[in-house]
Every structure is written in structure tokens, then in C-alpha cells.
Amino acid sequence: MELAKFGNWTVDVFKIEWVGNPQIQFTITIPNIINTGAHKSGILYQWLIEVAGDNRFSPEDIYSLNTAFFYALDIFRHEIEIPGYALLAETLKEQQQILDERKNACGMPLGKFTDDRSKWFGKLYKH
């Protein structure tokens, strides 16, 4: 049962899942939502960093995932132990750095995504 939808992401009692186009298999199960990994800035939430580095997702898609992520953390806060909100701040800081690097590499503006995704993706994959 879907609890909420944020952009192209749905949250249900089992997972956060990408349901947009292009069709990408990207699912975060609720028990694994708090997975962390080592990154440039230290230990961070894995999923929010992983999606930022995936050029198939627009900045809007990534920001929508952030919202879905926060929503799921709040809804399931009694079922999962959340490492802490300072970790969220550091994760978002590094995520934005990754998005800035993507912008600089492709010369594409971050912000509103154009309707013609093929031009944007084509430019991303040429680099």
C-alpha cells in the first residue's frame, strides 16, 4: 500500500521506490534505509550519496528522494534506529557537492529540468 508519492518516488510500508522514467531499478527497503558508507566527508547515508552520483537522475529527482527519505525516516522512526540528524546534514552537504560537480562537468544548470530529457542525458553521457 502506497503511503505517499514525492516526484517519481513512492513510499510504502516496505520500501522507497523509483517509479518514473527512465525506468530504473532503484529500491530502498525500509530496514536498509539507514545504511551508511564511507565517503569523502566520512560516514554518510549511502542511498542519498549513491543517487546523487547517478546521472540518470535529475537534480529534481534527487531532491524528491530526499523528501521521500525524510518522510520514511519519520514514519518508521519507532521501527528503525536512526543514527542521528547530524549525519543527515553531512550527507546532504556532500550530496550537493556531487551535484555541483555534475553541473560543472556538463555545464548543465541545476534546478528546473527541461522537458527534453534526451538532450540533458545525451550531454551527460558524452563526458
DSSP sequence for 92-120: HHHHHHHHHHHHHHHTPPSSSPPS-HHHH
- 71 pLDDT band (50/70/90 cuts)? very high
Looking at every residue in the chain, the average pLDDT score rounds to 84
CB of 34 within 8 A of CB of 24? no
Q: What is the pTM of this model?
A: 0.78
22: three-class secondary structure by DSSP:
coil
- 37-69 pLDDT, tens digit each: 998 888 999 999 999 999 999 999 999 999 999
Closest CA relative to residue 66, chosen from 80, 78, 82, 50 = 50
Q: Is the pLDDT of residue 2 over 90?
A: no
Instruction: Give the pLDDT score at 78.
Output: 85
Instruction: Give the pLDDT score at 109.
Output: 53
